[in-house]
Amino acid sequence: MAYTMTPTPAGPVGSQYCVCKVELSVCGQNLLDRDVTSKSDPFCVLFMEDNGKWVELDRTETAVNNLNPAFSKKFIVDYHFEEVQKLKFALFDQDKSSMQLYEHDFLGEFSCTLGMIVSSKKITRTLLLGNGKPAGKGMITIAAQELSDNRVITLSMAGRKLDKKDLFGKSDPFLEFYKPGDDGKWMLVHRTEVIKYTLDPTWKMFTVPLVSLCDGDVEKLIKVMCYDYDSDGGHDFIGEFQTSVAKMCEAQDASPLELECINPKKQKKKKNYKNSGIIIVKSCKITRDFSFLDYILGGCQLMFTVGIDFTASNGNPRDPSSLHYINPMGTNEYLSAIWAVGQIIQDYDSDKMFPALGFGAQLPPDWKVSHEFAINFNPTNPFCSGVEGIVQAYSACLPHIRFYGPTNFSPIINHVARFAAQATQQEAASQYFILLIITDGVISDMDETRHAVVQASKLPMSIIIVGVGNADFAAMEFLDGDSRVLRSHTGEEAVRDIVQFVPFRDFRNAPKETLAKAVLAELPQQVVQYFKHRNLPPINSEPA
């Protein structure tokens, strides 16, 4: 989850606040008809402008044979009040199964800022073609809703003895869930998958935000409609019923809730009409989908440790070509990385006392090589006060150690992992450990490091690696499991990706906050992922 440095009246200046999430619902009206024998099959793609380029965020499902689609797939966007977030909604007629947009016919687009949608709550605008002219009579309606309620509802639904709609065979039923919109019309919220050839379907369990389904009001009436799927888009209506989340929550695994599916036309025509089948709510559970901010506001502390590479490949710190040389401005790449990450993370640790460790150096008085030493030379109390304390201890230790080798990561990873393992005794989300390793190059103990990372992936712990200098960082990219799952040398897989690697050289000429954003980009989701996997709620969480 993204977060910003915006000071707000609600807390101390400089403290961090997660951005709220906004859900965007899209409908199209009078879209261009691009198909010769039938109507267009539209889908909508959302782009956001990033550094002058349009980047695709997401796309909806395809509405078959429909010039007035209401898409059930919602776009969820992080809303930053202090940024101009330019959005573009582009509609296409699906012609092939290709993901490439140029393979599909363009139906028109509309651009605006997220702020414009949010301030109006709902806007309807003309769709434009690439030349800026209207796309026929095509219009787009976009409605925004803040997803501040973190409750989600998980439903398990089935049907029994549904009406047979197909001439040769049984029906292919699916359900659609609607809530009342502000304009009095029913608004599509969720569509289940289609179950083929059955009058007694069991749909897959699904989870939707409670805000999406009923605006967070469990007493609000919702409408459920059952259809028989047709590939040409002309789905046959089987029946409908109205209920509420409160009513559906009466369903228990042992005693499911049965609701009659009624077709009003049939009901009027036939005297002895009973129903068009039964829809069964097998189970209905409301839980909370906690965010990074929920855990932080709940009192979770981020425990920050720094590991610094003092191997000989860095060069003599008195030589201006050394990566550890502190220039007349009082900085170097090591210090820049410590500042960039530390000054953000320190807001999340109440005592602001951080262990700072070094590796790969010979230490006085006997000049033995150490791969996990306190840079303040106090092994029983390696803590430094704030980021300033780390910087002071780092500068002070440089003249007193000899740079040596090899570059072993595993001792420091295992050092932090020992503390993280103690924190697994917690019954709520109270502590999460972050290790920042700053290094100039190739890892010597790759097998041991891989094993250490795989073991640490089971713990409340993340590892950030900043590569300084111009070395080949291929091994670091390997540890950062963005493209593939990391395995230890024994073949054991990491249960989650906990390593984020960035080369400092990519940020040398960028504003310093750019490095922090890149380095910390994955951290909030790693924190949430761990606590969710362990079913640990925030310390002060309310029941759903």
Please write down the HEC assignment for all residues of 318-342. Answer: CCCCCCCCCCCCCCCHHHHHHHHHH
Mean pLDDT of 386-414: 95
pLDDT of residue 7: 29
Please report the pLDDT score of residue 542 as a whole number.
Answer: 67
d(CA 317, CA 155) in angstroms, rounded, equals 62
Q: What integer pLDDT is reported at residue 237 of this predicted model?
A: 96
pLDDT at residue 296 greater than cutoff 80:
no
C-beta atoms surrounding 531 within 10 Å: 24
CA-based end-to-end distance of the chain:
21
Architecture of domain 293-534: 3-Layer(aba) Sandwich (3.40)
With a pLDDT cut of 70, the percent of the chain lying above it is 92
Nearest 5°: phi and psi at 116?
-65, -45
Do 151-288 and 293-534 have matching folds? no
User: What would be the CATH architecture of the domain defined by 151-288?
Assistant: Sandwich (2.60)
Taking alpha carbons only, the member of 221, 179, 229 closest to residue 201 is: 229
Tell me if the pTM is above 0.85.
no
Using 50, 70 and 90 to split pLDDT, how confident is the model at 9? Answer: very low
Give the pLDDT mean for 371-386.
96
Task: Quick: pLDDT tens for 174-187.
Answer: 999 999 988 889 99
Q: What percent of the chain has pLDDT over 90?
A: 65
pLDDT at 343: 78
Query: Rounded mean pLDDT of the chain?
Result: 88
Q: Which residues of 74-98 are buried (b: 16+ CB within 10 A; e: fewer)?
A: bbebbbbeeeebbbbbbbbbbeeee
* CATH architecture for residues 19-147: Sandwich (2.60)
Mean pLDDT on 53-58: 95
| pLDDT (tens digit per residue) in 236-272 | 999 999 999 999 999 877 789 999 999 999 999 988 9
Query: For the segment 419-449, what is each residue's pLDDT rounded down to a tens digit?
Result: 999 999 888 899 999 999 999 988 899 999 9
Q: 231 or 456: which carries more pLDDT confidence?
A: 456
**Domain segments of the chain: what residues?**
19-147, 151-288, 293-534
